[in-house]
Structures are given as C-alpha cells and as structure tokens.
Structure 1
Amino acid sequence: MSVTVRFAPSPTGFIHIGNVRTALFNWLYALQSGGQFVLRYDDTDVARSKTEYAEQIAKDLQWLGIEPHRVEYQSKRMASYDEAAQKLKDAGLLYPCYETADELERRRKIRLGRKLPPLYGREALKLTQEEKAAFDAEGRKPHWRFLLPNFESDPFTTKRTEIVFDDAVRGRQAVDLASMSDPVLIREDGTYLYTLPSVVDDIEMGVTHIIRGDDHVTNTGAQIAIFEAMGAKAPQFGHHNLLTTITGEGLSKRTGALSIKSLEESGYEPMAVNSLAVLIGTSENVFAVPDMAALSERFDIASTTKSAAKFDPAELDGLNETLVHALAFDDVKERLGAAGVDISDARAQDFWTLIVKNLKKVTDAGEWWPIIASAKASDATLEGEDLEFARSAFDYLPEGEISDQTWKSWTDTLKEKFGRKGRGLFMPMRIALTGRAWGPELADLLPLLGREEILARRP
C-alpha cells in the first residue's frame, strides 16, 4: 500500500512549533515509506482565512525542508462537500437543528443540574415538518448534525457503541459513541466545520494515514463513523502528544507564540527547530540532527510519549549553536552578506573560521565583522592600572609580518616586562583590541587585523 499523509493547517494565523510538530511527523513518515505528503489548506472559514497566512505557511514549510507533493485548498472543493452532505441527508444521517446557542446552553445546564452528561438530546429529530416550516418562516437557519450510530432502532435510546482503532502512537484505542453528542457538520450560515470536508478529502485524496495531535483522539470515533457512512474505510490514525510552552500553556496561532516565522526571523537554523520539534516528548535523546535525512532515520512515531512535552527555547539555543559551529563558509556565505559581512573582502572566509565558535546564530557574525573590519566595540572599557598597562603594551608589538605566532611572541615579552600573566595580561589586551571582554582567540585575530589596525587600537 502506498502511503499518503496530509497536513491540513487553517490559514488563520502564523503556524507555530506545535503545528510544525504535526507537519514534521507526517513528512518524516512519508519519507520513511517513500510516500506522498499533501498540504491541504483548511480554509473553509472564509471570514478568518487569509491569503497571506497561506503564503506564509508555504514559506515556513519550505524553510524547514518540507516539500509537499500536492497542494490543495478546501475552499475550491465545495462541490464535493455539498455532494457528500446531500448523500448523508438523503440517508437520514444529517438532520437539521434549529436551537439557538442560548437554548442549547440552557439544556446543557439542566442536564448538568440533574447530574447527567451534557449531551445533545436529539430533540430536533422530534420536529414535525410543520414546526420546521415555522422556524424557516421566522428566519431561523438550521445547523446540521450527524446522527451517530449509537443506538439499535430508537435514536433516543442510546447504547454503548465502541469504535475501536489501532493508533500508530497510542496503541489500541476505544471511543464510546454513546458518550458523545451528535457532531455539528454544517453551521447555521451553511459553512462547513472541518469534520466533513476533512473526511471527504481524505477519501478522495487517498489518504492512508492521519497523523495529528492527541487532542483529536475522541473526535476520531465520530470521524470513523462518518467514513463508514460514506461507504469508505477509515485511514490508520496516529495521535502524537502536544507541545506546550515552558510554563505549560498551550500554543496558539492567535498569540503568535513560537511561530515559525518568528523563529526564522530570530536567526535559528531550521534543523534546530526540526530536531527539537520532533525529538522532544519521545524516548529519543534530543540532539542537533544535521539534516532531514538523518532525522528521518532517527524518527520513530511509536516512541512518542503520551504526556505533553514542554518546548524550552533555551534548549533550542543549544541545538542551534551546535549546528552553527559545524557550518562551513560556503554554507553561510549569502546569509553573512545579508548580516552585514563584506563577503567580497579577502578576509571574509578566515573571519568566519575565526568567529564561528563564538556564535549562537549565523546572524551574530554581523556584530563581529565591524570589530574586525573597521573599529573595536565599546562593550567593555579599561581604567586604572589595566588602562596604563594596555597603552604601554602596544610599544612591544613584535616587528615584521603579523602571523599566528605574533600573539605568543607579544605576550611572552609582556610577561617579562610587566610581570603580568593569565587574566591580568590577556583581558586588558582583549578589551583594548576588540572592545569586548570575550571573543575569538587573539592569536588568530591579529593576522586579520594587520599591523596598522592593531596599532590604531591603542587605548
């Protein structure tokens, strides 16, 4: 069987790291099986769906290294949903309900007051044609519910009806349809909730595996019932654990928390994001995986734990640093130029080799280039005896070409002349040369500066 998976985001905001966890699980599953990955925009909510969000989702996936084999828009497939809805109506499985939100809430409270589960009582099934016509005449628009198969002959006498499925992550799962209200598939304004379009698309697009967050486990029972009502076999499901913020809060597109767009703009490497998004909350150790192929080899959907996983940006920083330190000049040349490094300068490649071990992000190199190319920073200053020492030290800069041996020769002389050593010697010199109290090896820095620039930095 050829594997087909799908990622179905709603273009109502910027996707975040939690959304991408689902996208990556599907993408890696497809990679492992040589299958197909469908990007399907759930854009039936016309009021909230925006073209700019859909475009950003495509950019985000491309940045991460996910390349859809097929792209679909649910807004362009309304005829298929209308046909499916009519089929269910004709079968008596999709029925109109005229209750207002206030009426439904009152009924819910009454049931709770009687210590009954707050389920919909299927009162709309008792409406006569005359009553429905009266509601229509007064301008009420019905919403439409799917009649769950949780009864024998009388829909008002439900019985335990288990939908059992083998979850690729969680193992055997059982959902009792009698514990659920008949789900609303069509709103009062005639627009579809995601459930019916999702099932129709999965059938028509040949989706074989649905991999998504475990907040959908209960929904799966109703969806399998709809698949069967449509005369189709449901795909295999896999429900992975969700990601939360470090404080345990859920992620939301509305708040923009940990959006992929913001992570890219902050200078993170895509594989740092991928590594943490996939490996956190699994039995695998979290480490910086260099590329998607290697991540595919490490990915095991069954190793996902059942409890939610907290996404810690500090952990992302560590992974990012590891990946950056392994990057060659040619890997980052264009990004260095965008960060302000003059990549046409003959020193640019040596600069990268020198500075990379001091960087957390590639963009940080832009802060160091001016210190090398033009003038020292002003992050740290000298005073007192350290200032006097540094001023005098420049008188002992060795003659001849500045090489990787110049620093040792220079500091050997300074130790002898001033009796300084260790931090007392090195730190004033570092601050004098760079304006910072930390940074790359000075032995490697001096050749990049050259004699003229070194002497120009005498404090």
Structure 2
Amino acid sequence: MTKLKTRFAPSPSGLLHLGNVRTALFNALLARRSQGIFLLRIEDTDQERSAEEYVEALMEDLRWLGLGWQEGPEVEGEVGPYRQSQREPIYRAYFQRLEAEELAYPCFCSPEDLERVRKRQLAAGQAPRYPGTCARLAPEEVERKLAAGLKPTLRFRVPLLATVEFEDLVRGPQRFATGDIGDFIIRRADGSPAFFFSNALDDALMGVTHVLRGEDHLTNTPRQILLLQALGLPVPRYGHIAMIVGNDGAPLSKRHGSRSVRELRETGYLPEALCNYLARLGHHYEDTDFLDLDALAAKFDLNRLGRAPARFDLQQLHHWQREALAHQDLDTFGQWLAPVVAQQVPADKYQEFVEAVRPNVVLPEDARHWATVLFGEELVLKEPVLPVIQEAGPTFFTQALVAVDSCGTDFKALTTQLKQTTGAKGKSLFLPLRAALTGELDGPELARLLPLLGTGRLRQRLQNCMHPERSLTTY
C-alpha cells in the first residue's frame, strides 16, 4: 500500500505569513495522522525573486512551529534534490519528451501580442485564453524564427473537446471543459519551467499522494492533471482549502493584523498558540481544549475542512496564546519573559513578579508594562483613573497612608483597617487603591503587588493622591 505523502512547496521570495503556514500545518497534520511523510520542496525557479535568506527563514519558522519534514532540504531522501533550481536536467528531459510526442510546441507570441488578444476577448465577453496562434507552425517556420534569434516559450497542447474531472478533497466533484483552458505555457522564454509544469511534475516524481493548497490554485489543477496524464505519471489527490480573510471579507493583509511568522515569534507568540489557532482556522475541531501537535493531528479530518472563507480573529489568537502560556510551568514562563523584563525587575523579586503578573500577560510587552508600573520611578496616571482618585478624596488616601504605617504591605490587614476608618467597601475601597498604586483600573491581584511595590513606593504614590488640586497627569 502506498504511504500517504503530503508536501509544502513555498517559493522563497519573502517571509512566511499565516496563510502559507496554515497550508504547511494542514499538510503536516494530515501526514502525521496517517504516519505518512511530510515533504518540503523549495520552488525557487524564479531566481530574480528567490533569496537564500528566505529559504533559511522558512525552514527556521517551520522547525520553530514543530513542523519538521521527513524529506526535503537538509534531510534529503530518495527523490531529491528538493530545490527546483537543482532539478533543471529533469525538467529538460520531460520538455524534450513532450515536444518529441507533439504534446508541446514553441510559441513566439510576444507579451504585447498576447495582451492585445486578451483585450479583444474581454471586449467580446469571452474568457481570456490563448487562441492557438503558434499551435500549427510548420517546422520550417519554427526554424526560421529560431534562427532570427527569437526566444520562444513552450506551450502544452491541451486536448480539444475533453473534460477534466476530479474529486476535490475539500470541495467535492469538480469538472472543467478543456475548451475553456487553452494551451498554456510550461517553459518560459528564458528556459525556466513555469509553475504549472514544475509543481505538478515534482509532485508526481516525488511520490506526493495528497496536496492541500489554497483555493486560488483550483483552476490550476485541471492543467496539471492534463500534464501528468499526458506523461503517464501518477496524479495526486488535490484539496483546495478556503482562503483566510479579515473581518471585512477581504484577503488577509497587514491592515487586518497579519504579520509574518518571524514577526509573531519576535513579538512573543508561542508556537503552540499559533498551531492551535491555525489548525482551527478553516477546520472544525469538536475538542475545544488546548492540544499538542500529536493530538491536533489525531483529530484532523479532511471532512471537517470548511469551504467558506476563514476569518482571522486576533482575539482568538490571543485566547490560544493564553492557553499555551497556562500550559507552561512557572520556570519556563519566567524564562520566556526574562529577555524583556529581567533588567527592570530586581533579581530578588523576579519570582514573585512572575507569579503576580502571569494571569495578566498575553505577550512579553504586557509584562514590561507591569514591570514599569511596579518598579518605575514615575507613575503615569491616564485619564480614566483621575475621576476615581478625585472621587475617593484626600481623606481616603490619608487613611490609606495610616494603614500602610500600621500594616506595611499586608494587603488583607491594610484593606481591613482602611474599610474601618473610611467606611469604603467593594469597588469604592479597592478601585481608588488600585488606581493610586498602579495607574490602572484592573490588573494583577493587589495582594501580590503590594510586597513588590514596598512600603516606600506605597507611601509615595498615596501621598501624591492627597492633593486633588495638583495635576495628577504624571508624577
């Protein structure tokens, strides 16, 4: 029985973003679920746009996410090389075969010629497709054009009056008339293979059995099936997953909060959070618990892949970030925060700080904020807290100072005494206290924050709230 094999085949022309990482994740989960093979292939035939730095970056991103590959660069295997730029002799042999069998022909039409035809077809209400201008050039005419120095593309000869049918793993039965396709380019004028050709050929030669890719490739699939059938090569099973969109329904972009995986990693998102979020973006899991990769793979089901566009929701990503953080032990959590806050937090208070802020941290920047609040020399009071402080009045803060002198940083004793001396309780007690000490109206438990602030800072901040006639914007 043939072992299931999926693949991820990026072009190294930029950093990986959420859309292509989700494609990699789905293919990796499908392979892992079936104890199959996840293959990585670098599609770098466009040398002008491809860069080695992006190859290194994408491999680093995949490994960071836990999406290791069983075949591909640096791992290798029996069907390499796994960079298309190193497979030129293979492509050349198949080009020659297609030409010898008259399944492909040279095309001398210039881009300007093709654009004029395209405009005429659109004006006539027709779908743009190549009209076959060079399909029947006599051999002598071909030789004359070559001798004149013209550089032709190579077009695949699409069968007339045929139908391409296949069962899409996501979208069900698909049917395409070849008359709507037109002969398409498989080799560019510079001799490099076109995507249609190299992508399909490599899938077949590398034994890929299942291809999950974006729905924008759906119309490419009949062309690639025709190619592989003409060459007598195996055709993978294709599934076209829904695109990711923003809240406005437009394709996901930076204005929706989309960033590269590298940017997300540098911001502090955890790989487990991204995997849990992306696995559910266009794929339904009955289990809403936080899952590791093995569990995500075990419950991955092609029948649960949706056809409707998947909407990116930053709040959902933050939910899974919180879940991922909750599954870390305290030491790991502290090490994760250390590069951002270790210099601000006194070493002897670091463990207490980590325990105090943990429930209120989604990203390291959140911890930096609390480190500044607790250990900064100047506290910034924002507009929302000023009315709370002013409403509490000077007497409240005078009594709070007395309570600090009596109880120090013992939160329970301090608030009990303050309640007795002021009559304040509930929000009227706790909200002005929090506002005065932290400049915020919510946050970590005050009982944990008071020992971190120390009696010196407690006194200073309470004293600054005793004079409402002074500006409370900053101090």
What TM-score comes out, normalization by structure 2 length?
A: 0.86
1:250 and 1:32, CA in 2 relative to 1: closer, same or farther beyond 3 A?
Answer: same
Q: Is the contact between residue 407 and residue 413 of structure 2 (CA under 8 Å) also seen in structure 1?
A: no
The residue aligned with 1:2 is: 3
Residue ranges of structure 2 left out of the alignment (5+ in a row): 73-81, 464-475
Match of 1:418 among 407, 413, 422: 422
CA deviation map 1:202-234 (0-9, x unaligned): 233221111111222221112112112222111
The residue aligned with 1:125 is: 135
Aligned partners of 1:332 and 1:409: how far apart in 2?
31
Aligned partners of 2:103 and 2:173: how far apart in 1?
28
1:110 and 1:455, CA in 2 relative to 1: closer, same or farther beyond 3 A?
Answer: closer
1:379 and 1:270, CA in 2 relative to 1: closer, same or farther beyond 3 A?
Answer: farther
1:391, distance to aligned residue in structure 2 (A): 3.9
1:74, distance to aligned residue in structure 2 (A): 1.0
The residue aligned with 2:19 is: 18
CA deviation map 1:171-192 (0-9, x unaligned): 2222222220112111111121
Aligned partners of 2:18 and 2:5: how far apart in 1?
23
The residue aligned with 1:338 is: 339
CA deviation map 1:48-89 (0-9, x unaligned): 111122222112212222112222211112111111211211
Q: Give 1:27's aligned amino acid.
A: A
Q: Is the contact between residue 341 and residue 369 of structure 1 (CA under 8 Å) also seen in structure 2?
A: no
The residue aligned with 2:230 is: 229
Aligned partners of 1:143 and 1:254: how far apart in 2?
38
The residue aligned with 2:150 is: 140
Residue 317 of structure 2 is aligned to residue 354 of structure 1: no
The residue aligned with 1:154 is: none
Match of 1:105 among 80, 102, 115: 115
1:375, distance to aligned residue in structure 2 (A): 4.3
CA deviation map 1:390-448 (0-9, x unaligned): 2441222265785xxx2122111111112222222222222332233322111222234
1:312, distance to aligned residue in structure 2 (A): 2.2
Q: Is the contact between residue 185 and residue 195 of structure 1 (CA under 8 Å) also seen in structure 2?
A: yes
Alignment root-mean-square deviation, CA: 2.7
Aligned partners of 1:255 and 1:444: how far apart in 2?
37
Aligned partners of 2:324 and 2:378: how far apart in 1?
28
The residue aligned with 1:394 is: 401
1:323 and 1:379, CA in 2 relative to 1: closer, same or farther beyond 3 A?
Answer: farther
The residue aligned with 1:80 is: 90
Aligned partners of 1:53 and 1:19: how far apart in 2?
14
What percent of counterpart residues are identical? 35
Aligned partners of 1:9 and 1:251: how far apart in 2?
18
Q: Is the contact between residue 16 and residue 251 of structure 1 (CA under 8 Å) also seen in structure 2?
A: no
1:264 and 1:379, CA in 2 relative to 1: closer, same or farther beyond 3 A?
Answer: farther
Q: Is the contact between residue 97 and residue 145 of structure 1 (CA under 8 Å) also seen in structure 2?
A: yes
What secondary structure sits across from 2:47 in the alignment? coil
1:357, distance to aligned residue in structure 2 (A): 1.2
Alignment of 1:11-410 (within 5 A): 11-71=12-72, 72-148=82-158, 150=159, 158-159=160-161, 161-251=162-252, 257-284=258-285, 287=288, 289-341=290-342, 345-373=347-375, 375=377, 377-380=379-382, 382-383=389-390, 386-397=393-404, 399=406, 402=409, 406-410=410-414
Aligned partners of 2:346 and 2:447: how far apart in 1?
24
1:431 and 1:393, CA in 2 relative to 1: closer, same or farther beyond 3 A?
Answer: same
What secondary structure sits across from 1:123 in the alignment? coil
Q: Is the contact between residue 26 and residue 212 of structure 2 (CA under 8 Å) also seen in structure 1?
A: yes
Residue ranges of structure 1 left out of the alignment (5+ in a row): 151-157
Q: Give 1:360's aligned amino acid.
A: V
CA deviation map 1:149-208 (0-9, x unaligned): x2xxxxxxx21x222222222222222222201121111111211222222322332211
1:60 and 1:8, CA in 2 relative to 1: closer, same or farther beyond 3 A?
Answer: same
The residue aligned with 1:155 is: none
Select between 17-26 and 372-381 the one with higher mean Cα deviation.
372-381
1:34, distance to aligned residue in structure 2 (A): 1.0
Aligned partners of 1:194 and 1:114: how far apart in 2?
29
The residue aligned with 1:153 is: none
Q: Is the contact between residue 167 and residue 238 of structure 1 (CA under 8 Å) also seen in structure 2?
A: yes
Select between 12-21 and 62-71 the one with higher mean Cα deviation.
62-71
Aligned partners of 2:119 and 2:67: how far apart in 1?
46
1:176 and 1:7, CA in 2 relative to 1: closer, same or farther beyond 3 A?
Answer: same
1:441 and 1:14, CA in 2 relative to 1: closer, same or farther beyond 3 A?
Answer: same
1:292, distance to aligned residue in structure 2 (A): 1.5
Q: Is the contact between residue 208 and residue 236 of structure 1 (CA under 8 Å) also seen in structure 2?
A: yes
Aligned partners of 1:396 and 1:354: how far apart in 2?
22
Q: Give 2:155's aligned amino acid.
A: R
Aligned partners of 1:109 and 1:374: how far apart in 2?
65
1:130, distance to aligned residue in structure 2 (A): 3.1
The residue aligned with 1:439 is: 443
Q: Give 2:303's aligned amino acid.
A: A
CA deviation map 1:236-275 (0-9, x unaligned): 2122111122222224699994322222233222233222
The residue aligned with 2:468 is: none
Q: Give 2:4's aligned amino acid.
A: V
Q: Give 1:142's aligned amino acid.
A: P
The residue aligned with 2:472 is: none
Q: Is the contact between residue 246 and residue 253 of structure 2 (CA under 8 Å) also seen in structure 1?
A: no
Select between 77-86 and 264-273 the one with higher mean Cα deviation.
264-273
1:128 and 1:165, CA in 2 relative to 1: closer, same or farther beyond 3 A?
Answer: same
Select between 88-97 and 106-115 the one with higher mean Cα deviation.
106-115
Q: Is the contact between residue 11 and residue 42 of structure 2 (CA under 8 Å) also seen in structure 1?
A: yes
